[in-house]
Structure 1
Amino acid sequence: MTEQSPCFRSLAFREIPTPDYADVCLAVLPDGASTEPAEWAERLFSLESMPRWVAAAIGLRQALVPLIGIPKAPRDTFRVTDKSGEEALIFVRDKHLDFAAAVGVDPVGRLIRVTTAVVLKGWRGKLYFSVVRPVHPIVVYSMLKKATRSKPAPR
């Protein structure tokens, strides 16, 4: 039997090939919007363009995680770390988990895609992600909805 290549590829899975958690969220790219994935990654993950409730949840996270020995996330946590083809990657390695989010843009299908992969490390990562897991797709869809409804990034 020959080994098959994956039919779905993403920079997220290049960094984390066997995740403990993964999801993919899609939205329609607005007409006239940029098709540059790094621009979309920066836009999606900027506090200014996040829905207020998501920004508030991140603020709550910053306040609570030190209680279980997880450091606060630095301001530049969600910076683009790599770009290849139609995807821009945000990759964070921390003591409680590794997180990869690849933002892909399909200019032909007019879609924007966020692929997330996570590896949990120890009890802190498991505890932290037990709270995050149920809301993660809701958070990403909310971010996509707000980013694609606001004024499109220029081409």
Structure 2
Amino acid sequence: MTEQLPCFRSLAIRKIPEPDYADVCLATLPEGAGTDPREWAERVFSIESIPRWVAWAMGLRQALVPLIGIPRAPKNTFTVSEQSGEEALIFVRDRHLDFAVAVGIDAVTRLIRVTTAVELKGWRGKLYFSVVRPVHPIVVDSMLKKATRSKPAPR
């Protein structure tokens, strides 16, 4: 019997191989848009791509998390930490959870993929993520859609 290799690969899953939570969101790249994954990661997680309701929710998060002993997220939380091939990785290690977000570009199919993997730590991480879990794919999908609807990124 031959060993079966995984068919889905992502820097996010490589960083957190046994996540407590994972999801993938897809969108089509706009006509004429570039295919640099770092540029797309920066674009998807930029202030311009955050819908108002998501910005409001993030502001609420910043106000409430200190109440359970979680530090407020720094402004540079979504900085690309690594790029390999068609993916750019954002990786954050914190006391309550680690998360990895990989933004991948398939230049052939013109798809952009955002893969998230999360490892929870202790009761704070579990409590925090119990609130985030139901809305996480909705938030990421809305940011991805907004980023791909605006003016194409340069080539």
TM bucket normalised to smaller: over 0.9
**Matched residue, 1:103:** 103
Deviations for 1:64-112, whole angstroms, at most 9, x for unmatched residues?
Answer: 1000000001110000000000000000000000000000001110100
1:10 and 2:4 are equivalent in the alignment: no
How does the TM-score come out when normalised to structure 2?
Answer: 0.97
Contact 2:49 2:144 in 1 (8 A): no
2: CA distance between counterparts of 1:153 and 1:85? 18
**Matched residue, 1:83:** 83
Deviations for 1:9-57, whole angstroms, at most 9, x for unmatched residues?
Answer: 0000110000000001000010011100000000111123211111111
For 2:71, the aligned partner's letter is P
CA RMSD of aligned residues (A): 0.8
**Matched residue, 1:37:** 37
**Matched residue, 1:154:** 154
1: CA distance between counterparts of 2:11 and 2:35? 17
How far residue 2 of structure 1 moved from its aligned partner, in angstroms, is 4.4
How does the TM-score come out when normalised to structure 1?
Answer: 0.97
2: CA distance between counterparts of 1:141 and 1:61? 19
**Matched residue, 2:137:** 137
| Structure 1 residues not aligned, in runs of 5+ | none
**Matched residue, 2:23:** 23
- Say how many residue pairs are matched: 155
1:51 and 2:55 are equivalent in the alignment: no
How far residue 3 of structure 1 moved from its aligned partner, in angstroms, is 3.5
| Structure 2 residues not aligned, in runs of 5+ | none
**Matched residue, 1:123:** 123
1: CA distance between counterparts of 2:65 and 2:34? 36
